[in-house]
Structure formats: C-alpha cells, structure tokens
A and B are shown apart, each in its own frame.
Chain A
Amino acid sequence: MASSAEEIKAHLKIYYMVFGALAVLTVVTVAVARLEVSIGMAVAIAMFIACIKGSLVACYFMHLISERGMIFWILIICVLFFFVLLLLPVITQFEPAHSGLVEAV
C-alpha cells in the first residue's frame, strides 16, 4: 500500500492511464457489439472486455494488486460460489427431464 506523498504521485500517473484504458475499452466494447458476430462470440468478447475493465478497477482503483493474500482468498471463494450459482441452475435447463417446456396447458 502506498503511503508517502512521492509514492502517491507515482500512482497518479497510473490512475490517469487506467482511466484512459477504461474509456478506450468502453468504446471498443460498443464498437464490437455493432459487428455481425455469432451470439456466443459476442458474449465471449463482451465478457472478456468487461473482465479486463473490472480487473483494472479492482487492481488499481481499489488497490487490490497491493493487498495481501487473505482478502484474495475470500474473493476467490466468493467468485467460485458465484459461478456455482450461475452454472448449476442453468445446467438443469438442459437436462433431459427438463426439456419438456410447455407453452400453455
């Protein structure tokens, strides 16, 4: 963690760079969405860009990059459970017994 005024000054430069990167990536993600790509591809690209942007914010604005191990572990567990919650219910949608969706009685 940065503490002295000099270190903070060095950080300021990083903040502006990150800001520039975020703005550029926002433009890129909108531009890519206009391209005619398959939905799977579009999701992959959009999520990839969003993850980069998210990591930039977390690492530099939230200083996660200079934190110690413990909080990482908690966040990793958290993200793991998030994916569990995301994926398992979706898998049920594709199970054979669930495929019998009906429109109306």
Chain B
Amino acid sequence: MSAEHHHEHDLPFWRKYVFSVDHKVIGVQYTVTGLLFLFFGFCLMMIMRWQLAYPLEAIPVIGTWLSQSMVDADGVLIGDGYNALGAMHGTIMVFLGVVPLAVGGFGNFVLPLQVGAPDMAFPKLNMASYWVYLVGGIVMLIGFFVPGGAANSGWTSYTPLANIATTGQTVWLFGMVLLITSSLLGSVNFIVTTVQLRAKGLSFFRLPFFVWAQFVTSFLLLLAFPPLEAAGVLQLMDRLADTSFFMPTGLVVSGELQESIYSGGGSPLLWQHLFWFLAHPEVYVLILPAMGILGEVIACNTRKPLWGYKSLVYSAIFLGFMSFIVWAHHMFMTGMGTTLSTFFQATTMIISVPSVIILTCFIISLWNASIRYNTPMLFALAFLPMFAIGGLTGLPLGLTASDIHLHDTYYVIGHFHYVVAPGTIFALFAGVYHWFPKVTGRKMSEFMGKLHFWPSFVFINAVFMPMFFVGMAGVLRRQFDQTEQLQGAVVHGLTIMSSWGAWGLGLAQIPFIINFFWSIRKGEKVGDNPWEATTLEWAAPSPPPHGNFETVPVVHCGPYEYSVPEKKTDYCPQNVVMEA
C-alpha cells in the first residue's frame, strides 16, 4: 500500500464518503441517489396506473395521505394531480434517475478505471457535479409541496400551458437549470478524462465500447443541454418577469384577454424547438451508456470479442451526430410543411440505420460464443429483443403519414418505454450486477438475481405490450380518464392489464432490493476479477483504493481479447502481455 493510500484513511468520514472527490465514491453516490429517484419515479407511476385502471376510485391505502393538490377529500386523484404525477414521473425518470445512474453512476465509477486513470481529470468539479445534481433533485421534489402542487404541464412543459401553470412549474425550471449545470460539469470532466488521461498504450481504438459510449454521450450533454438551459431561462423570464417569449399576440385565457400583462409577439413553437433540440439527443444520452454497458457484459459473457467493434464505435459517433438534426420529428403535428418534414423524416430514417447496426453487432457477437448465463448476461440478453421492439416501433412514428394517427397516443408511450425501461433500465441492472463485485468486493446472489430477472422480464412486457394496441385504437396519452372517450372505454381492459403488470413489476423489484443490501455485507467474497474480464477496471483491486491502481497500467492489446487461440487462459487482460 502506498503512502497516499494511508493518507486516505486519515480523512474524516465526511471527507471520505460525503464530500469526497474520489470518482468511485461519487459514482456510488450517483448510483444510490439515481436508484432512489428511479424507485420514487416508479412509485409515482404506480399511483397513475391506479387512476388509469380504476378511474375516479379512491386510491387504496395511500390515497388520503397525499397532498390536497393531488387528491380530493376521499383520496381520489384529481386531474392536475394526475398531470403533476405524469410530468414528475417523466422528469424524475429521465433527468434524476436514468441519466445520473447511467452517466453519473456507471460513467464515474467505471470510466476512469477503464482508461487506467487514477481519478477524473477534475475531481473537485466532479464532486460539485454530484452536489449540484442532488440539490437540483431536491428542488424538484420541493415542487410537490408548493401551492398548486408540482409541475403539471408534462415533462415537456409545452408553452403557453407551462407559462400560465402553477408555482410548481417555476420550481421545476429552477431544478432543471441546476440539473443542466450538473450535467455540463460532468460532461466536461468525462471528455477531458477520456482524451487526456488514457493509460499508456490505450489508443482510441483500444478503448472499451463503454468508454466510447460515455464519450459520445458527454458530447451530447455538452452541446445539447445549453439550449434547454436557455429555454429554461426564457420560460422563467416569461413566468417571473411577464415577458412574452412564448406568448403569442391575442391570447385569451379563461375569457380574459392577456394583452395588459403580456406584450405578445412570442412563439409557442420556439419552446418546442429548444426543448426537443435537447430532448432528442437526450434519448441517445439514455440509450448510449446502456449500449456501452451491454458491450462490456456481452463481450465478457460470450467469451469472445465483440463482433464489429469498429462499426459499433462509428455507429455510436454517427448516432450522436445525427441525434442533433432529427428533433423536429416530435413536432410533425405542429403544422410543419412538407420541406422541413421531409428533411426530418429522412434524418429520422437515417438515424435508424446505426441503431440497427449496433443491434446487429451485438446479436452476431453471440455466434460461435460460449454464453455464460449469469444474471448480468440475462439482463443484457433481454435488452436485445426488447430494445428491438422499441426501436422498430419508432418507424411508424417517424413517418409523417402514419404519425397522423399515432402521434400522442399510447403507441408513443409504448415505443419510448420499450427503449428506456426494458431497454436502458435492464442494461443498468446488468451493469449493477456486473460491476457490483468491483465496487464491494462481493458478488450479488445469483439465485436472487434470477428471481429478480424472470418476473421483471414477464411483467415489463405485460406493462408495455398492451400499450401498442391501446394506442393503435386511438387512445391518447396524458388522459386522466381514458374511458371518457369512446375508443378509450372500449379498450379499457388492456389498460387494466398494463396496470397490473406495473404493480407486478414493482413486486418483482423486491428481490433486487434485498439482494443489493444483503450482498453488500454478506455476499460471496470474490477476487479482483471474478468474471475473468479483460478491461482495465478488473486490473485494479476490488474495491479499488484511492488512486485506483497499485501500479500504473500499460495497455498491450484491444479491449475484448477473449478466447485468443493458443493462449493459456480464455482471456487476455489489456494490461498483461499474455504468453502462449
């Protein structure tokens, strides 16, 4: 043990675990906070599912505990309460759950290890990034306690609705500005670390796919988030200083002409442009790190190199680049003419090609493999078909003509949830199981893992598959009570099925929670490289000390040298010159 390692032990608790500058501690902080927010966002959704399945019936048990901005005296949800749940579910899942977990958590913990760095390039900035995120998250939650409840104009906060909404929207905007700042700090750190801190011999094309995915993601965060920050500032101005950035001339709200308050002359669509300029790249911020995790888990558990590593990398870069010029496909119904819609349809079709390539590479990687069915691999494998469903169902939404019927229906909900929930979140679970031994030095229980995986797999499909049918029938999203409409009433049975699926999915997470905490203390102790993997993080001790590596690693080969013919073992770690 080096001297600095001893020094680390001398740090007081709050410096070592709370205000730590160590990327691993920050990664764990991000992971735990992200998981908590995911769980919270999931709970919001379960309340929504009750209202959807049993409209206007009192919410069992917790109904009367909820605040008066959400439920009436009998514990029945009210319209704005439902809208607040919907808006906050979206916001929390995307900005407070998945992104912090995928980028802040896994990125922070794994990326410096995988590039062979002692820490992030800017450790203090890294710490700041986490704390700004946490404050942003808390600000978001404060929204639930202000008059009128949390933001209720959808996670997209379309104007002018959001401009005239209750105070919760202002809180939401402040929260967003903080979260964006946190993301910016993080992304600068990630890019600099990846470029400047790579170990000797670790050229760009020897980087694990996970690092590539995080690298591209960071660029998306760096360049796509600021326009939303700008938009957030503009909406705050509209709400607090009565400016008219998003308020057109001649607005009449509840019979009252607004011209004495607002000058008018703004553009409601401007918000949508600025929002989706971020929010489409955001989709790839959600999915790319998941694909990165998948690359690691699949390569390790197929015991062979990833098929088409270079096309994976180029596809990821191309995907990142294209994601900046497809955003208006969310806006086909805003009266867009043929010139622009043709452009955006074409870019949307083009962006599907690299996704298909990435998926194909993963699938073909299974050929001639020796597949090890452990829990991380199960989650990773389940990702593939379900992400395929999510991706494929994007096609009819990306074509304007079919979008006329499908826009804003449950089909859309089904589509993007298949990408993000059974897609990204399954990949995140794979990541948790895969890197748990590195973080704690112990493995999570395989039995409990499988008990977690199989019900989750069944239930998650029960939640989202019916949505395609409901959406096809023309039922719209964001409906407090879908039976209010004829077509919604007719297919209500499918919605009930979705709801039960969701509650089942909730129960299916219990084994995970138990497993997670139990394994921290009681899990099977394992060595530094329990999966016999090749990438650099496994060359560090488990858990890695402050400063990570005992000797500075030097890289000799590519990231996935598994089953190299005529070698002693079936894996060649990147930092080891393997003898035959």
Contacts and interface: CB of A to CB of B under 8 A. Distances in A.
A82 B481 CA distance: 41
Nearest to B277: A85
Contact of A98 (B223, B227, B270, B337): B337
B249 interface: yes
Contacts of B2: none
Given A70-B195, A104-B249, A105-B252, A95 B273 contact: no
Q: Of residues A77, A92, A97, which shows the largest number of chain B Cβ atoms within 10 Å of its Cβ? A: A92
A44 B343 CA distance: 27
Nearest to A81: B324
Given A89-B269, A92-B336, A95-B339, A105 B227 contact: no
B325 interface: yes
Contacts of A78: 223
Contacts of B277: 85
Contacts of B339: 91, 95
Nearest to B321: A77
B269 A92 contact: yes
Interface residues of A, number: 18
A35 interface: no
Contacts of B340: 88, 91-92, 95
A105 B264 CA distance: 14
B223 A103 contact: no
Nearest to A104: B250
A10 interface: no
Contacts of B77: none
A69 interface: no
B344 to A, nearest CB: 8
B2 to A, nearest CB: 33
B223 A77 contact: yes
A81 B336 contact: no
B336 A95 contact: yes
Contacts of A89: 269-270, 273
A85 B272 CA distance: 12
A102 B339 CA distance: 22
Using C-beta atoms within 8 Å of the partner chain, give the interface range for chain B: 20 to 34
B317 to A, nearest CB: 11
A84 interface: yes
A84 B337 contact: no
A96 interface: yes
Contacts of B337: 92, 95-98
Contacts of B252: 104-105
B335 interface: yes
Nearest to A98: B335
Given A92-B340, A95-B340, A85 B227 contact: yes
Interface in A54-105: 70, 77-78, 81, 84-85, 88-89, 91-92, 95-98, 102-105
B306 interface: no
Interface centre among A85, A98, A104 (most CB of B within 10 A): A85
Contacts of B270: 89
A84 B335 CA distance: 20
B173 interface: no
A98 B250 CA distance: 17
Interface string B233-261: 00000000000000001101000000000
Contact of B336 (A77, A84, A85, A97): A97
B281 to A, nearest CB: 10
B92 interface: no
A70 B191 CA distance: 12
B350 to A, nearest CB: 15
A104 B252 CA distance: 9
9 contacts: A81-B324, A88-B273, A88-B343, A89-B269, A89-B273, A95-B339, A98-B335, A98-B336, A105-B252
5 A-B pairs with least C-beta separation: A104-B250, A95-B337, A89-B273, A97-B337, A97-B335
